[in-house]
């Protein structure tokens, strides 16, 4: 509880008035049409210590036999054991300006019933794009960062052992046909559309390159004219442009994940004057049985089982806290800390404040 409230207070320190920092254009916007592309492939991870797919995973057996036959070996499909092999799907993101021979990080995910990919090696796997063309080839040792051991009665597991990564594990074999837009104009699209941010971005660009250099098109894009001095050197212009700084704006938002108890409160969240009280109610019901039986050597009577139910109700003491109009995230954190609210209490409190119409922010529940 204290840890979560402490995190809220820490966020309030960084997000309080005067703490907003400028952000580079390159971190919030990108040239329209220049983007990453997704790659996917199917492969085999070998060298597992008995934690691979079981014999019932037919596609793993078939894949292993096919690979051995391509290498010139003749094997009996019925005699193949795959406990040290796992079938996996391999995914990657290909950067728009990646060149032949560049390394790309890949994610390896088990598709069968393998228990762990720890210690395995991914065999050569072609990675294809949406057009069916091979753009990269992946191979190398899988880094899982977890463990999973156990027997029939117990099991120990940390993290997620059936998904791993290979940093730089794929080599680019085909370059994307990505080039800078032709002409004397560039269109930048924001990662998160916002009219205020677009307006600020246009102002910053115009202050640097002259009035009329940037024109907002809508809430998510800005058209920028390339100055005459940079007509033959777009790379230098883009480098200078993306280095400009501005303070992006964002909608006030609270994001809550009830499964993990995680709460993230945005800087501009405001609350109208409201009173908050939170109390925990615990209800414990125990079922037991009393046995009534006749005395020793008694010739009459019978043993009877009588059910017994005990109920215990406890309710924690709670305090009424007044949150004044327009309080900041730091003041909210301190007020909720005063009543000893747990993370799950905070989720219920924010939902209740929103229902009361006093929370001036978007409430996102994951």
- DSSP states of 301-353 as a string? ---EEEEEEEEEEEE----EEEEPTTB-HHHHHHHHHHTT--HHHHHHHHHHH
Cα(132)–Cα(41) distance, integer angstroms:
10
Q: What is the pLDDT of residues 346-365, one digit of tens each?
A: 788 888 888 888 888 888 88
Of 182, 187, 184, nearest to 223 (Cα)?
A: 187
Cα(137)–Cα(124) distance, integer angstroms:
7
Residue 225 has pLDDT above 60, yes or no: yes
DSSP structure string for 98-160 = --TT-EEEEEEEE-SS-S--TT-EEEEEEEE-TTS-EEEEEEEE-B---EEEE-SS-EEEES-
Q: How far is CA 205 from the centre of its chain?
A: 33
Across the range 92-105, mean pLDDT stands at 92
Residue 58 has pLDDT above 90, yes or no: no
Question: Where does the pLDDT of residue 263 fall: very low under 50, low under 70, confident under 90, or very high at 90 and above?
Answer: confident
Q: Where are the domains of the chain?
A: 2-8+253-281+317-365, 22-33+180-246, 37-172
- pLDDT at position 237 is 92
Of 84, 43, 60, nearest to 170 (Cα)?
A: 43
The tokens 């880094």 sit on which residue?
143
Give whichever of 31-45, 72-86, 301-315 has the largest mean pLDDT. 31-45
Across the range 74-82, mean pLDDT stands at 81
Question: Where does the pLDDT of residue 50 fall: very low under 50, low under 70, confident under 90, or very high at 90 and above?
Answer: confident
DSSP structure string for 149-197 = EE-SS-EEEES-TTEEEEEEEEEE-S-----PPSSSEEEEEESS--HHH
Structure token pair of residue 351: 């939902």
pTM here? Answer: 0.68
- What's the chain's average pLDDT? 81
With residues binned 3-state (H G I as helix, E B as strand, rest as coil), the percentages for the chain, rounded to 5, are 25, 35, 40
Cα(317)–Cα(282) distance, integer angstroms:
12
- pLDDT at position 321 is 62
The tokens 């900041």 sit on which residue?
328
Question: Where does the pLDDT of residue 309 fall: very low under 50, low under 70, confident under 90, or very high at 90 and above?
Answer: low
Residue 130 has pLDDT above 80, yes or no: yes
Spatial CB neighbours of 183, under 8 Å, sequence gap ≥ 6: none
Rounded to 5 degrees, what angle do the CA atoms 198, 201, 199 make? 40
The tokens 């997000």 sit on which residue?
15
- pLDDT at position 5 is 46
- pLDDT at position 186 is 92
- pLDDT at position 355 is 86
Across the range 252-263, mean pLDDT stands at 82
Spatial CB neighbours of 2, under 8 Å, sequence gap ≥ 6: 337
Structure token pair of residue 207: 């202050």
Q: Are 205 and 224 in contact (CB under 8 A)?
A: yes
Question: Where does the pLDDT of residue 303 fall: very low under 50, low under 70, confident under 90, or very high at 90 and above?
Answer: confident
Cα(12)–Cα(82) distance, integer angstroms:
53
For the ranges 72-81, 84-93, 125-134, 294-303, the lowest mean pLDDT is seen at 294-303
Structure token pair of residue 330: 């730091």
22-33+180-246: in CATH 3.30.1360 = yes
Q: What is the pLDDT of residues 330-345, one digit of tens each?
A: 677 666 666 667 777 7
Lateral strand order in the sheet of 362-365? 262-265, 253-257, 362-365
């Amino acid at each position: 509880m204290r840890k979560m409230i402490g995190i809220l207070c820490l966020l309030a320190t960084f997000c309080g008035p005067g703490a907003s920092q400028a952000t580079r254009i390159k971190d919030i916007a990108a040239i329209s049409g220049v983007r990453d592309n997704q790659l996917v492939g199917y492969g085999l991870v070998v060298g597992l210590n008995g934690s691979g797919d079981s014999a019932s995973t037919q596609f793993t057996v078939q894949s292993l036999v096919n690979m051995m036959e391509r290498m010139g070996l003749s094997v009996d499909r019925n005699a193949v054991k795959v406990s040290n092999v796992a079938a996996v799907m391999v995914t990657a993101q290909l950067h728009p300006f990646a060149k032949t021979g560049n390394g790309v990080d890949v994610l390896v995910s088990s598709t069968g019933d393998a228990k762990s990919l720890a210690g395995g090696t991914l065999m050569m796997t072609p990675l294809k794009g949406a057009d069916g063309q091979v753009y990269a080839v992946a191979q190398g040792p899988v880094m899982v960062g977890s463990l999973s051991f156990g027997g029939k009665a117990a099991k120990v597991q940390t993290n997620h052992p059936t998904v791993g990564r290979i940093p730089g594990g794929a080599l680019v074999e085909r370059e994307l046909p990505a080039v800078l837009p032709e002409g004397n104009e560039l269109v930048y699209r924001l990662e998160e559309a916002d009219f205020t941010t677009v307006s600020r971005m246009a102002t910053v660009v115009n202050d640097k390159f002259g009035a009329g250099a940037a024109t907002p098109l809508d809430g998510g894009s800005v058209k920028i004219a390339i100055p005459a001095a940079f007509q033959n050197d777009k790379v230098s212009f883009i480098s200078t442009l993306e280095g400009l700084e501005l303070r992006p704006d964002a909608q006030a938002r609270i994001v809550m994940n009830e499964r993990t108890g995680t709460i993230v409160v945005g800087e501009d969240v405001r609350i109208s004057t409201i009173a908050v009280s939170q109390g925990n109610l615990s209800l414990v019901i125990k079922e037991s049985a009393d046995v009534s039986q006749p005395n020793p050597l008694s010739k009459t009577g019978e043993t009877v089982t009588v059910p017994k139910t005990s109920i215990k109700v406890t309710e924690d003491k709670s305090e009424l806290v007044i949150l004044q109009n327009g309080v900041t995230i730091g003041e909210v954190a301190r007020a909720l800390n005063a009543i000893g609210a747990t993370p799950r209490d905070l989720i219920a409190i924010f939902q209740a404040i929103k229902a009361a119409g006093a929370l001036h922010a978007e409430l996102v529940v994951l």
